Amino acid sequence: MNGHERKRFATAAVLSCVAVAMLGLSLWSPTLYRLFCQATGFEGTLRTTNVPPPSGTTATEVLVRFDANVNSALPWRFHPLQREVRLRLGEEALIHYTAVNLSDKPITGMATFNVVPEKAAPYFSKLECFCFTEQTLLPGQEVSMPVVFYVDPGLAEDPTTRDVGTITLSYTFYRSENQPTPTASAAPPSSSTAGAGG
Amino acid sequence: MAHGAAVAHGEHEHHPTGWKRWVYSTNHKDIGTMYIVLSMIAALVGGLMSWAIRLELAEPGIQFIHDTHFYNVLVTAHGFIMVFFVVMPAMIGGFGNWFVPLMIGAPDMAFPRMNNISFWLTAAGFILLMLSAVVGEGPGTGWTVYPPLSSIAFHPGPSVDFGILALHVAGAGSILGAINFIVTIFNMRAPGMTMHRMPLFVWSILVTAFLLLLALPVLAGALTMLLTDRNFGTHFYEVAGGGDPLLWQHLFWFFGHPEVYIIILPAFGIISQIVSTFAKKPVFGYLGMAYAMVSIGVVGFVVWAHHMFMTGIGVNARAYFTVATLIIAVPTGIKIFSWLATMWGGSIEFKAPMLYAMGFIWLFVMGGVTGVVLANGGIDTAFHDTYYVVAHFHYVMAIAAIFAMFGAWYYWIGKMTGRQYPEGLARVQFWVFFIGVNVLFFPQHFLGLAGMPRRIPDYPDVYAGWNFVSSIGAAITMAGTLLFYYVVFHTLASGRKAASNPWGEGATTLEWTVPSPAPFHTHEEMPVIAGGGHGHSHGHGMPRPAE
Ligand code: HEM
Ligand SMILES: [Cu+2]
């Protein structure tokens, strides 16, 4: 390799690294995106925290409404027990959603959630919730799902959120990809005999 | 003259003939020619699809495309073919391969074998894309491939997977091509050909290559995740599994906005060469022109969410993306005014390439103005996904790029084939095409203002009038296109012999110093460029070879 060629290959190597780095960045982006949304409340992403509300509430009140949706592939009924609560900023609240499995099979569902208006998301702190955790309901089973949250007093101080009087918390349940495996008794009996014979 | 000896030497050297000459080609001119031929074939396929679309839209109601999914497949394939297999191959692979080495005094591209691979990957991508339409239900996703429409639930067959593979393969070819161009331009310039004396076409390919290098891997990553979502049960874009379909839109447009500049930057370069040649003046503000392209490239990476104003992004994000997008209009304006200043007071010859260059400027200004309208997050609430957007990007990107390609073809065909095109017929072809595209796309602004949505084969009667006009325009455009193919045929069959410089004193770049057609090997001994300051101190905004 003469000097000219070495220079060409060196440049090409650097450029290839740039391309690979961009590919890596794009494959890493789901994680980055989630972190970004959690850090900024982008797209109404909520903070789940274990930091208790700052001591002392303020006089300002906010109305929090609750919304529930179920994807059509999931034969469940799902709704909040309270339509809305009015609470002071910094005040902790406990509310319940309830879900019923209407089918005759055990089914696993999974919930996603966000708040509207999105700009209020950074101030909406949940201490306990059923978000993203998979829930398996037996046929006809009904469960109550608690949500503990507070709205940070910072909401009233931030000039971009000062006008927010109502926040809607919305959950959507989907059918999970991981469904419960059928119990042993439900398995076809032939499988065990086939195993023994083989 | 040094290169004279080099040429004589080159012609005696053995080089492959017959099919081997093309399939195994490592010669930048032959590879460039193959790219241009691929583009001309793909243009016929993509063009036929658009004419089918306009025929369907000529009147309210369904005319002949009863399967509305098939209509979506047509729209999708038309977009993909035009972007990835017509414009990019012709401008970057075709004219870029042909003229970057010639203009900087290099004997060939830095990696000739990799150049061959780039071409064949692009060709394979085109074949895969064609296959995607015949396996399964056909991809009806639009060129933006948004999930959940593109997910397994709504496109269960293999066609979207074929489409993804097509883009992967063609994208890999383009990334290799981009590396090749950057290495060539950085390391293989002739002595005296400093960066600040390179012709603007070379600058435009350099910036384009960087955009390809940074943007295409992101598309590749996004597509890979879509592929695994569809086939291997991952949930990058599936809400049900904790993913987010908006992530696709962010990644797609992070690639997609630079992509539109990948298409138009080489056109900027071509137009600069043509305008200065036919105004017989150096390009006004050479350095400003070069760095305007660089800054358009840089800013182009931070404006992507202007395609996502309606996805529910917050008011602060909309404000930022509005302002960032409007800023792009500044370097764009520098380019427009510099072209006008180059023409100002010049003794302009209205030959076909110059007509196309001036047509380009008109189209690009039209599309730029509607772009500035759309950039406003508030206004875009009304215009998003209407025919106003369709009119915007066809003016600013699609048709403008085609004008630059036609202009480049007329400008360089003598150098490439040794035969000059028929001037009178070419001017007729220009006017037919120019009138056609304006009648075709101008009314689409009115349709969009009136709220007609894009990507739907039927519409209420109120939109009938302008749609009919638009379809008439499509027929005129079709006539202009076929006339172009006739001009090509006529030139190759019986064009008169081209001089090594058919354009006279205005044509100052190095490709005009070699004979026409350019011999198989050129610049084997590097030409030496006379010293001096920036290109513009040389009288023509571009360097002159040593005499
Ligand atoms: C002054 C510069 C420009 C501005 C301010 C601008 C602005 C915009 C905006 C805001 C949109 C989104 C409209 C919507 O979907 O609601 C858009 C769409 C588009 N623009 Fe531009 N644009 C500019 C230049 C360009 C250029 C130079 C090109 C290509 C060469 C281009 C190609 C496109 C394309 C292809 C779309 C539509 C993509 C799709 O939805 O399929 N634009 N433009
Ligand atoms: Cu854009």
Q: Which pLDDT tens digit goes with each residue over B110-160?
A: 999 999 999 999 999 999 999 998 888 899 999 999 999 999 989 999 999
Q: What is the pLDDT of residue A182?
A: 59
Pocket test for ligand 1, best of B211, B260, B385 (most atoms within 8 A of CB): B260
Is A4 in contact with B187 (Cβ distance < 8 A)?
yes
Q: Say which of A4, A25, A112 has its CB closest to residue B239.
A: A112
**Maximum average pLDDT range among A130-134, A178-182, B205-209, B341-345:** B205-209
Would you call the peptide bond into B527 cis, given omega within 30 degrees of 0 as the criterion?
Answer: no
Q: Which pLDDT tens digit goes with each residue over B54-68?
A: 999 999 999 899 999
pLDDT > 90: percent of chain A: 32
> B523 falls in which pLDDT band (50, 70, 90)?
confident
> A194 falls in which pLDDT band (50, 70, 90)?
very low
Mutate to test the interface with B, among A29, A46, A48 (most CBs of B within 10 A): A29
Measured distance between the N- and C-terminal CA atoms of chain A, rounded to whole angstroms: 63
Topology adopted by domain A48-193: Ctag/Cox11 (Pfam 04442) (2.60.370)
Contact B402, B436 (CB under 8 A): no
Q: Say which of A7, A8, A30 has its CB closest to residue B247.
A: A30
Nearest Cα residue to atom 12 of ligand 1: B307
Ligand 1 atom with minimal separation from the B329 CA: 1
Residues B331, B374: Cα–Cα separation, whole Å: 18
Residues B348, B445: Cα–Cα separation, whole Å: 32
Q: Which pLDDT tens digit goes with each residue over B176-200?
A: 999 999 999 999 999 999 999 999 9
Contact B276, B505 (CB under 8 A): no
Cβ–Cβ pairs < 8 A, chains A and B: 95
- Whether B537 shows a pLDDT value over 80: the answer reads no
Question: How far, in Å, are A102, A197, B77, B378, B443 from residue B356 at the CA level?
Answer: 67, 80, 27, 35, 22
Is A110 in contact with B242 (Cβ distance < 8 A)?
yes
Backbone angles phi, psi at B281, to 5 degrees: -140, 155
Q: Which pLDDT tens digit goes with each residue over A50-95?
A: 666 666 667 788 999 999 999 888 999 999 999 999 999 888 889 9
Q: Say which of A7, A11, A132 has its CB closest to residue B242.
A: A132
Chain A closest-CA separation from residue B224 CA (Å) = 8
Q: Which pLDDT tens digit goes with each residue over B349-396?
A: 899 999 999 999 999 999 999 999 999 999 999 999 999 999 999 999
> A190 falls in which pLDDT band (50, 70, 90)?
very low
Q: What is the pLDDT of residue B388?
A: 97
- Find the ligand nearest to B324 CA: 1
Residue B394 exposure: Cα atoms within 13 Å on the Cβ side? 21
Kindly state whether A175 is in contact with chain B, defined as any CB-CB distance less than 8 angstroms: yes
